[in-house]
Structure 1
């Protein structure tokens, strides 16, 4: 195996192994590391949507600062370094294919020294990279064994929370940026030949009743800190975080910002039934059985629609074709979930043509983006029983 200790990468496609260089490598777009807005990556917000989008973007910017600080102190409980964080973010960004994100995280990663070239370090990085790629591209393949493999290479309970929050955050960011680029009329730029995410297998959704069980230890209330208890008290009542909050509270500052985002998305829902459909179909694609079951209870669809939602596939479009808004929303959610890099101005306009305002469309697609995050957390940090 090639020995490896280098300062950076000269392109944004990151691999675990790479050729050593004597000279410092520069990222493809070095200025992408110094954007004024690290979440929207210097996209200009439309004036008529500024308030709604800003209420989501402000906590997202704070969360970015928590996940990707300039310096990260590591210890035996928190081993996930700045390099680990940014390489994980870049791996996820590559899967989603939104070039603005790829440029940014590659530029942030490039100057950082990589881990040493020992067999253990190489294996640890390979496992982290494989996990990040799988959770980003095919969330439903992640299971208890995947968590165990991360623990076997030295990731702690706190590291497991951080890596999954990073991948979920990048999933959310990629879809918000893709949606806003489409709203602003930016042309689609994607890499030909890259695979689209496929719908999860229908067998996962055959059960009528499901329960979610955490796969890692929750915060122990008897020894939890005052800030952790405050975070739990504030965000556990939120339906989206009811089960996740006790696990995510290990990193309570991150939970606080995720909670603020989820709360704002919930407040901006233009139509509860349409929002539930966006969340329902996103969970169906990603393979989050418990998220799917919760949204199905909110929708209360008829037996035929419930069956076709469980089955997924092309039949779903035919059954929902009688409702133009729902049909257009299903198409938009499918593309934004499976291939955010291909979400175009045409994709956005298909919704506005169905008597939905731009504000309503942004809110519904923000619901889809948030579910991309929450679905991955539910899948990665526990299991449905």
Structure 2
């Protein structure tokens, strides 16, 4: 079949190939490209809620600007173009199904010219799209072979950091927007028939002695520049970034903003035990053994609960039977992690009915969203051995 270069997308369900069109096609919601707040996408929040979230939203906006600038200069070391970035973001947004995000990234992508019609360009885009879909929908399937496939089509070390940061960022954004929409009482709007994320295989968590190792080269301290060294000195001591910092420092500006968010989320966590449960269960669902093991090593959960988490949701629900507060939290984390487009006001209300304040519920759910991002980075940029 002849493959052609086109310069527009007529809808937000993006494919790597589309039919040719002589006219520029507009996205379904073209105004979605020009929102005032590109992270919250112009959600109208009460002032108190804005204030509570400012420490997280401010670095998130800066991250958006770094990941999706209006113009991107490519080079031999950094080949990921504006089209690559936005098509990756749209692919991930489609997996998560939150329409506000799909509209936005489709509108940003629509005016951009796609890659040329060569076989190499088509194959490169297909591999990028496949990686984005897999890491978004089923993080645990990503392995060293997936990284090698990206390297085989020309992605560099810096590109690998960027693509996985984009997917993690959109995963975080989708869940924060879903939680805020639920807190405002907005009804869910999802596409019937779309698959939801499945819990990772319990076999991944049977080995308690695994260690995480980087899957790409870390920043070489002998040749690192001053900003990279400053970023490492600041963020490597943070438990959430201890293993990742030497990899993410290749793009130290992104690391700085992710570090700011991680630090802020830790500060607003309302309860150490509940925060531990959110982090551990999110890692368990996503299949991040390294993140799960870090939770276990911190020792904030009893052994019975740890073993229940290893076994999976059925055993966890059995162990938590009668513990209504923890059960409500687990159910909310499961829904937000597996199907953010279906996270409804009912889930938020259930947390409040079990005694969580609105602020506590929000902080725990935002932590769940952030851990999903960190899980994906651990899985995509390294492996447990």
TM bin (shorter chain): over 0.9
Q: 1:52 deviation in Å?
A: 2.1
Name the Cα RMSD after superposition.
Answer: 0.9
Residue correspondence of structure 1 range 1-385 to structure 2 within 5 A: 1-385=1-385
Q: 1:69 deviation in Å?
A: 0.3
- 8 Å Cα contact 1:211/1:290 also seen in 2: yes
Inter-partner Cα distance in structure 1 for 2:365 and 2:319: 22
- 8 Å Cα contact 2:86/2:105 also seen in 1: yes
Q: 1:300 deviation in Å?
A: 4.2
Inter-partner Cα distance in structure 2 for 1:171 and 1:242: 21
Q: 1:354 deviation in Å?
A: 1.1
- 8 Å Cα contact 2:231/2:252 also seen in 1: yes
Q: Which moved more, 1:296-305 or 1:39-48?
A: 296-305
Q: Where do 5+ consecutive residues of structure 1 fail to align?
A: none
Inter-partner Cα distance in structure 2 for 1:2 and 1:274: 55
Inter-partner Cα distance in structure 2 for 1:380 and 1:82: 21
Q: Which moved more, 1:47-56 or 1:125-134?
A: 47-56
Q: 1:44 deviation in Å?
A: 1.8
Q: Deviations over 1:183-230 (max 9, x none)?
A: 001110000000000000000001222311000000000100100001
Inter-partner Cα distance in structure 1 for 2:183 and 2:248: 33
Inter-partner Cα distance in structure 2 for 1:301 and 1:168: 26
Q: 1:314 deviation in Å?
A: 1.9
Q: Deviations over 1:272-321 (max 9, x none)?
A: 11011011100000000010111123354333322211010322112112
Inter-partner Cα distance in structure 1 for 2:259 and 2:305: 31
Q: 1:48 deviation in Å?
A: 2.3
Inter-partner Cα distance in structure 2 for 1:102 and 1:214: 32
Q: Which runs of 4+ in 1 moved over 6 A?
A: none
SS at match of 2:72: coil
Inter-partner Cα distance in structure 2 for 1:232 and 1:354: 40
Q: 1:98 deviation in Å?
A: 0.2
Q: Where do 5+ consecutive residues of structure 2 fail to align?
A: none
Inter-partner Cα distance in structure 2 for 1:254 and 1:321: 41
Q: Deviations over 1:74-129 (max 9, x none)?
A: 01000000000000000000000000000000000000000000000000000000
TM-score by length of 2: 0.99
Residues 1:260 and 1:301: Cα distance change in structure 2 (over 3 Å): closer
TM-score by length of 1: 0.99
Q: Deviations over 1:147-175 (max 9, x none)?
A: 00000000000000000000000000000
SS at match of 1:213: strand
- 8 Å Cα contact 1:276/1:299 also seen in 2: no
Q: Deviations over 1:239-287 (max 9, x none)?
A: 0001100000000001000000101000000001101101110000000
Q: 1:45 deviation in Å?
A: 2.2
